[in-house]
Structure 1
Amino acid sequence: MKSILVKTVSVMVILLFFSPFQANAGFLGIGKPGPGDPPGSWTVGEMPEGDTKTPLLFLHGLNSSSSTWFESNDMYQQAYEHGHPTAYLNLYPDQSNWDNAELLTEILPEIYEYFGEKMMVVAHSKGGVDVQTAVVHYDASDYIERVITLGSPHHGSELANLAHSSWTWWLAEIIGMRSDGTDALQTGNMAYFRSQTDPLFDPSTVPFSTISGTAWGSFGSVLYFGGLYLSIYGTNDGAVTLNNSRLPGAPEIASLPLDHFEINQGHLIFPYLQGELNQQNITTHSGSDGANMIVRGGELRNEAEQPFTVESDVNELNIFLLASDELAEASLHAPNGKLYQIESVKKEPEHSIFYGTYVHHFKVQAPEPGMWDITMSHDHDASYLAVAMFEGGISEAVQMNLSNLQTSLDKNEIILSETSYTVYINDKKMSDSSTIQSLPLQTNQSQTLTIDIEGKTTTGQPFERTIITHRYIDEKGIVYD
């Protein structure tokens, strides 16, 4: 009997050691969660005095932890003062919504037993997708009274598409930003998720509501890159567009002039959780179908150059140089030899899809046409992603229907016979020709498409553009984008 017991214990230890995820750490007690607390761990706040209201369970988003509700955030204090008991759960910071939903469903009975009643869940960013997955596809509805999501990418984020584009490969290898979590948020994958989830979602069982943000800071702020990038897709909070934060079957409590990091701040949000304030009128825009950017990337072995072309009539040029380190030196060279220096450097913060990268920003008003060049140097090997964004030029003359990948070029501004396309699917080059060929539709596949366009304007000037999109093809060959 003793030898059997020893063997059994040994097997259990080996299984735990090789488990792909950390074991459920469970309840850690009353107080502030630690930044290194493992997935599956949860803490509770002090119990408010007197009669208490519905318990609140707070869920964090991508690349984050439950500390987000405490660090430079008064959400706990707001909840305590309003009489709500609180709990804070650590999900996997970089895993898919399916993995987090399974973990959440495993832990919910423990938290339910602690409070003795159903909870209202307040979920920031991807946490909103995680909890809906748990409610619809697992058994989480037995423990949840209602859900409010804060800036959640219910239809994905185009920034996730960018993170998985072919030009981002070098940077992703170092930073590790191509996680299962970011892959799940690509817009095609989320469109497929919506097709699986919306028909099963019953808001009468567990009602959902949303709160969205519409601000992304000023020049030089940490969300400026994400906000400007997403602006071509519409009003956004620097990480998620307004349209993508809206959930079918869920009313929108408010759309506020807050960015993605402000939208989980207690003093800014709690009145809306209490239903004390009405929705504000926000001016929004729907974005553009034009192509307004060039995306390039590569390795930086001590020194590197990245050329790109600017056509005439560009009103403003913004260049965001994302690197795995803050570069020792980077400069922008105009065709006439004029040198532009970096205007700001910001490290992408927690919650960001590009968490861990340094964003070097150049800005040029009315850039002259011709070949521009970014030069970089660093004291050790690094990698970079360069995103050049154009206001004006031929941007509106290059239109693409992302559903069928058909381009529409304005022949009054572009010489059609001089236009060529290079197409990559998931980092693999698929075609290089004067037309976009029929691309392979492999079933049960997630495809990130990077389309580089080169051509000439009717005035004879060369131009370049990059279009990035994503689609998912299910087992029947149906495309979701």
Structure 2
Amino acid sequence: MSLLMVLLLMVPVAAKAGDLGGGSSGVPGTWYLGADPSWIDPAKSPIVFIHGYNSSASVWWDGNDMYETALANGYQTAFIDLYPEKDMWENGAMLAGKLKQIYEHFGNKKLVVVGHSKGGVDTQTALVHYGAHQYVSNVITLSAPHHGTQLSDLAHSSSAWWLAALLGSNNDATRSLQTGNMSYFHSITDNHANAAKNRYYTLGGYKWGSFGSALYWGGLYLSSYGSNDGVVTVSSSRLPGGTIVREGAWNHTTVREGSYTFSVFKPYTMSAQPAAAGTFSPEEAVAEPDTTQIVRGGKSEKAINDRFIIEEGAERFQMAFLSEKKLPSLKLKGPDGKEYSVMKIEQDSSDFFKGAWVHLFEVDRPKAGMWKVNGPGAAYLMVVGINSPLSIELKKDQSQKMKASYKTNWIKFDHDNEKKLKEAGKGVKAGKIADGDFDQPGVYNLTTEVTGVDSKGKPFERTIVESIYVDENGKIHR
């Protein structure tokens, strides 16, 4: 069956005839029925597909063969438009009602839900906190940020706030996906009475593309936190109590495409469940991130004049310079006065800084000392990823001769009565953050500037961006 015929057979429910959604024009609360296969196999559950952040239901059939593949494999399907920029609580409540309607439409037959990215978190919220577990057998998540994404931490950090606000990325969805807030989410979800009433299966990706590709800069940033698909780390795609199906060479786009992953998760849509790769335990430790990056950002009205230090012994650095506008005249100057022009300029089409212009630089065997960045006035975010032996020493704190000092800018978020995050204060603290440093519970976004000298007395600097959840006892959860 041709894709054109497939789309013509799509049946929108609770929307005007012919409205198939698409891009950001999907109407929240609308759901769509796919065409019925020529023969309906009673062993095959209807599949409901849930989109992620800043997306809509059409992502499953517009430039994607997932719907066509599911139909060709004999599955009944449905697709739901949720709010593209709301948190898991609003989307979870809406989704619970829609799953009930779809369950009844299919004659009270249990559904399988496939959620991409934040759609996986929205699905778990609907099933556990809003009682929709009774309509669903299995849940399959495709690179869902079950533990949040460090790109959300970055978007709400003191360095990136200006640019994220201009791009519209400071919203309920990205606030909710801060890693600290997801620690809070799991504290009220993992032991919930409904948590084990469905089977969860997870897929994660570890491919984020080549230099200059759409997901490259996000992958570069996240590489400090582990293998990732350009938006979500592999470790975050694992759900406590869930079963890992596979972690493969997918990026955050291809993991939701039928030709890439349908055959991988298809066995988990059937009545009989095959063995999978393993089960993720909440007791598994989250690895400490590598200290490999320098992060700067802000808003310059007239001209950008920023700088950073590269230490001796660095093998290479890559810089992603993001702005709300294209800056072809942007220059990077080394300590020896040598100037570097931007190597690649692309407009970000991914989720968290969508629309930003990404200017990429790469320097092998860089000179040690002060590097300068100059350009016209703009809001900007600068991420410098450094390949250097010093990063290993910093992470393991190996060298007693190395001296470092820490200063942390923090932004506090409180939960309102609907569990939404609201900014509640900010400040600066000297030293490393430890249990007991914050006496008020909440989610804290932390940007820690690390400055010091290595064992030879040469200067270095790094930036650590993270978010934490502080409980009622002052204990920090990451």
TM-score interval, smaller chain: 0.7 to 0.9
Q: Which sections of structure 2, spanning at least 5 residues, go unmatched?
A: 1-12, 269-273, 279-285, 412-424
Structure 1 stretch displaced more, 449-458 or 194-203: 194-203
Match of 1:308 in 2: 308
CA distance 1:287–1:109, change in 2 (3 Å): closer
Q: 1:456 to 1:330 in 2, by over 3 A?
A: same
Between the aligned partners of 2:114 and 2:314, the Cα distance in structure 1 is 44
Residue in structure 2 matched with residue 33 of structure 1 by the alignment: 21
Q: CA deviation at 1:273?
A: 2.4
Structure 2 SS opposite 1:447: strand
- Flag structure 1 segments of 5+ consecutive residues without an equivalent: 1-24, 401-407
Deviations 1:261-316 (A, max 9, x none): 100001111112222999799xxxx9764411111111132421111111110001
Partner Cα distance (1:193, 1:280) in 2: 25
Instruction: Give 1:114 deviation, angstroms.
Output: 2.2
SS at match of 1:239: coil
Asked whether the equivalents of residues 215 and 259 of structure 1 are also in contact (C-alpha less than 8 Å), the reply is: yes
- 1:36-435 matches, within 5 Å, as 36-52=25-41, 53-116=44-107, 117-200=109-192, 205-275=197-267, 289-350=289-350, 352-377=351-376, 382-399=378-395, 408=397, 410-412=399-401, 414=402, 416=403, 419-426=404-411, 428-432=426-430
Amino acid at match of 1:425: W
| 2:447 is the counterpart of 1:450 | yes
Deviations 1:161-206 (A, max 9, x none): 1111111122122112121111111111111211211112657632
The 8 Å contact of residues 147 and 179 in structure 2, kept in 1 or not, is answered as yes
Partner of 2:159: helix, strand, or coil? helix
Secondary structure class of the residue paired with 2:330: strand
Q: Which amino acid aligns with 1:373?
A: K
- TM-score, structure 1 length as denominator? 0.85
What SS does the aligned partner of 1:275 have? helix
Asked whether the equivalents of residues 407 and 432 of structure 2 are also in contact (C-alpha less than 8 Å), the reply is no
Q: Secondary structure at the match of 1:263?
A: helix
Read off the aligned partner of 1:34 and give its amino acid letter.
G
How far does residue 60 in structure 1 lie from its aligned partner after superposition?
0.7
The one-letter code of the counterpart of 1:423 is T
Task: Give the Cα–Cα distance (whole angstroms) in 2 for the partners of residues 478 and 339 of structure 1.
Answer: 47
CA offset digits 1:378-401 (Å, max 9, x no partner)? xxx63000011110152222238x
1:473 aligns with 2:470: yes
> Sequence identity of aligned pairs in percent?
38
> Aligned-pair distance for 1:366?
0.7
Residue type of the partner of 1:311? E
CA separation of 1:435/1:180 partners in 2, compared to 1, >3 Å: closer, same or farther? Answer: closer
Shift in Å at residue 226 of structure 1?
1.5
**CA separation in 2, counterparts of 1:431 and 1:439?**
13
Give the letter aligned to residue 468 of structure 2: R
Letter in 1 for 2:80: L
Looking at structure 1, the residues matched to 441 and 433 of structure 2 have their Cα atoms a distance apart, in angstroms, of 22
Q: TM-score, normalised by structure 2?
A: 0.85
Q: How far has the Cα of 1:37 moved from its partner?
A: 2.1
Residues of 1 paired with 2:405 and 2:53: CA distance?
37
What secondary structure, in the 3-state scheme, does the structure 2 residue paired with 1:172 have?
helix
Alpha-carbon distance in structure 2 between the residues aligned to 1:75 and 1:341: 41
C-alpha contact (below 8 Å) 1:166/1:428 kept by paired residues: no
Cα distance, 1:431 vs. partner? 2.9
Cα separation, 1, equivalents of 2:448 and 2:363: 25
CA distance in 2, matches of 1:478, 1:101: 28
Aligned-partner Cα distance in 2 for 1:367–1:477: 43
Paired AA for residue 454 in structure 1: T
The residue type equivalent to 2:379 in the other structure is S
Q: Does the 8 A contact of 1:215 with 1:237 survive in 2?
A: yes
CA contact (8 A) 1:126 1:152 kept: yes
| Aligned-residue RMSD, C-alpha | 2.5
- 2:243·2:277 contact (CA, 8 Å) conserved in 1? no
In 2, Cα distance between equivalents of 1:393 and 1:463? 12
Deviation at residue 83 of structure 1 after TM alignment: 1.4
